[in-house]
Amino acid sequence: MVEFLLLSLGGVRIGAIYALAAIGLVVIHKATRTVNFAHGAFIMLGAYGAFLGIERWGMPYWLVYVVVPVAVGAVAMAFEFLVLRRLRLADAFSVVITTVFASLLITEWIRIVFESESLTVPPVFSGSPWIIGSVIVTRETVWIVAGAFLSGVAGVYLFSRAGIGRAMRAMSANIRGAQLCGYSVNVVYAQAWLLGGGLAGLAGVFAAPRFGVSPDLAAATIIPAFVAAIIGGFDSPKGAILGGLLLGLLETYSAAFLPAAFKNAFTFILLLGVLLTMPDGLFPERKARHV
């Protein structure tokens, strides 16, 4: 029983990071209808931003959690402005391919600049763990679970309730109607990429102490982010949270009870099963009725 609780805690910790990454992916897709394969590269930039801030520049951790997401969000917004805006009238395939090659370009650029395959970032908290019965809970685990989950909820709130989210929802529902209501496509798309990129950068900061900092982090995080988003419902920010937590738990259980070779296979089998049986995901967002 204790082993199961420890596994569950570890799964929730990973799942919270997956959920945060998936929400950023969903926000960009829902607002702009862009499937962003560069999202993993933005998460990687967040992890490298954490390394620079903590190890190179000696910034306090709280400042890293503020500055890095804003910086990565600005990079994502610049990518939309400089590249994707010129492809707005192109077919969806061209846009997807552009994000794929943008991810590869950013990853290789980071590999050249840092000349290191793996870097480390210290945990936020390193004090003695809490002992609850027979379960040992580290301060870092509590911080990642609580911090990533609350950040994800804040992202969902911004998209679902705040004024910035109202514009994005209007644009996703009907671009022409949103324009007639006074919303600018350029401004709303820039806001969506700023928010989605910021969530990706924040996920990278949370992931850095747990997964390490390396160029491979881009590929290692984009797959779980997509799987979590699809499981939850690719247009549902709330579903992304649940999908991320579910994926984290299932990955942890499969790694513990199945041979190591089946870990990734299990994830893709789960994804295939969801796509075949429930294409809209486990927690699809209700469609608004238009009269």
Is the pLDDT at 204 greater than 60? The verdict is: yes
272, 233 contact by CB (below 8 A): no
Query: What pLDDT does residue 116 have?
Result: 74
- Residues 64-70, mean pLDDT to the nearest whole number: 96
Is the pLDDT at 140 greater than 90? The verdict is: no
Q: What is the pLDDT of residues 96-124, one digit of tens each?
A: 999 999 999 999 999 999 987 789 899 88
Query: Is 278 part of any domain?
Result: no
What is the rounded CA–CA span in Å between residue 142 and residue 126? 12
* Domain tally, the chain: 1
Query: Is 233 part of any domain?
Result: no
DSSP letter for 213, please: B
Share of the chain above pLDDT 70, in %: 95
Query: Is 281 part of any domain?
Result: no
How does 1-15 read in b/e, with b if 16+ C-beta sit within 10 Å?
A: eeeeebbbbbbbbbb
Kindly report the number of other CB atoms within 10 A of residue 211's CB atom: 18
Find residue 136's DSSP bridge partners.
Answer: 131
Query: What pLDDT does residue 289 have?
Result: 41
Query: Is 161 part of any domain?
Result: yes
- Residues 31-52, mean pLDDT to the nearest whole number: 95
Instruction: Tell me what the pLDDT averaged over the chain comes to.
Output: 87
Question: What token pair was written down for 252?
Answer: 């942890």
Is the pLDDT at 261 greater than 70? The verdict is: no
Closest CA to 205 of 83, 57, 2, 42: 42
Question: What token pair was written down for 199?
Answer: 């969530």
Residue 200 domain boundaries:
17-119+130-222
Query: What pLDDT does residue 271 have?
Result: 83
At 8 the three-state DSSP class reads: helix
Bigger pLDDT: 248 vs 255: 248
Query: What pLDDT does residue 202 have?
Result: 96
Work out the pLDDT band at 290, boundaries 50, 70, 90. Answer: very low
Find residue 135's DSSP bridge partners.
Answer: 132
- Residues 239-248, mean pLDDT to the nearest whole number: 91
Is the pLDDT at 161 greater than 50? The verdict is: yes
Query: What pLDDT does residue 1 have?
Result: 66
26, 195 contact by CB (below 8 A): no
Least confident piece of the model among 75-89, 160-174, 205-219, 242-256 = 160-174
- What one-character-per-residue DSSP string does 90-140 give? S-HHHHHHHHHHHHHHHHHHHHHHH--S-B----S--SPPEEETTEEE-HH
Query: Is 98 part of any domain?
Result: yes
Query: Is 172 part of any domain?
Result: yes
Query: Is 272 part of any domain?
Result: no
Question: Could you tell me how many residues make up the chain?
Answer: 291
Query: Is 178 part of any domain?
Result: yes
- Residues 43-56, mean pLDDT to the nearest whole number: 96
